[in-house]
Amino acid sequence: MDFVLLQSFDNYIDAHIVLGRMEEEGIQCWLKDENTITVTPFFNNAVGGIKLMVDEQQMEKANELLNQFQQEKKNKLSCPACGSHDIELIASRKPMNVLGALVTWLTGKYALSLENVWHCFNCHKEFKEPVAMDPKASDDV
């Protein structure tokens, strides 16, 4: 049986959620480099994250399920300003973070990490937390 990469994850929580849902649907899969990234998270970029490996023969079905899972997750969260579901968690590009990184680089210290914020691609606002949709309310729609 040959396994191929379906998706790479930054953290083990998201990886295990998708792994469990895939296994529930009968997809044969496993997580590659999970222990390395979990124990030493600063290796994430060097290793390429936690990789969800899927049986090559089940790749098409797994890809369809992954798209379905991502759409379900996206539909549960919305922008607090405009209500759009077109949002994503990104590293902030705020000037203070850039200034802080520059100062720490000039003083020989390690650069400060960027702040993760949610960004709405509809109204272009950034916010700390999205609005979670009530699952009961979405069933009625």
Q: What is the pLDDT of residues 72-120, one digit of tens each?
A: 988 999 999 999 999 988 877 565 566 766 777 677 665 555 678 999 9
Q: Are strands 29-32 and 126-127 parallel, antiparallel or unpaired?
A: unpaired
Check if the beta carbon of residue 94 is closer than 8 Å to that of residue 115.
Answer: yes
Top-confidence residue, 60 or 92: 60
Q: How far is CA 42 from CA 36, 37, 39, 105, 136, in A?
A: 10, 7, 9, 19, 39
Average confidence (pLDDT) over 26-34: 96
Check if the beta carbon of residue 127 is closer than 8 Å to that of residue 81.
Answer: yes
CB neighbour list of residue 128: distance below 8 Å, 6 or more residues apart: 117, 118
Top-confidence residue, 114 or 46: 46
CB neighbour list of residue 120: distance below 8 Å, 6 or more residues apart: 79, 81, 82, 84, 86, 87, 126, 127
Mean pLDDT of the chain: 85
CB neighbour list of residue 54: distance below 8 Å, 6 or more residues apart: 3, 4, 5, 6, 22, 27, 28, 29, 62
pLDDT at 139 over 50: no
Q: Are residue 73 and residue 8 in the same domain, yes or no?
A: yes
Q: pTM of the entire structure?
A: 0.69
Q: Are residue 86 and residue 133 in the same domain, yes or no?
A: yes
Q: Are residue 41 and residue 100 in the same domain, yes or no?
A: no
Percent share of the chain, pLDDT over 70: 82
What is the domain extent for residue 28? 3-77
Top-confidence residue, 56 or 92: 56
At which of 24, 51, 77 does a domain end? 77
Number of domains in the chain: 2
Task: Give residue-wise pLDDT tens across range 4-18.
Answer: 999 999 889 999 999
At which of 32, 61, 77 does a domain end? 77
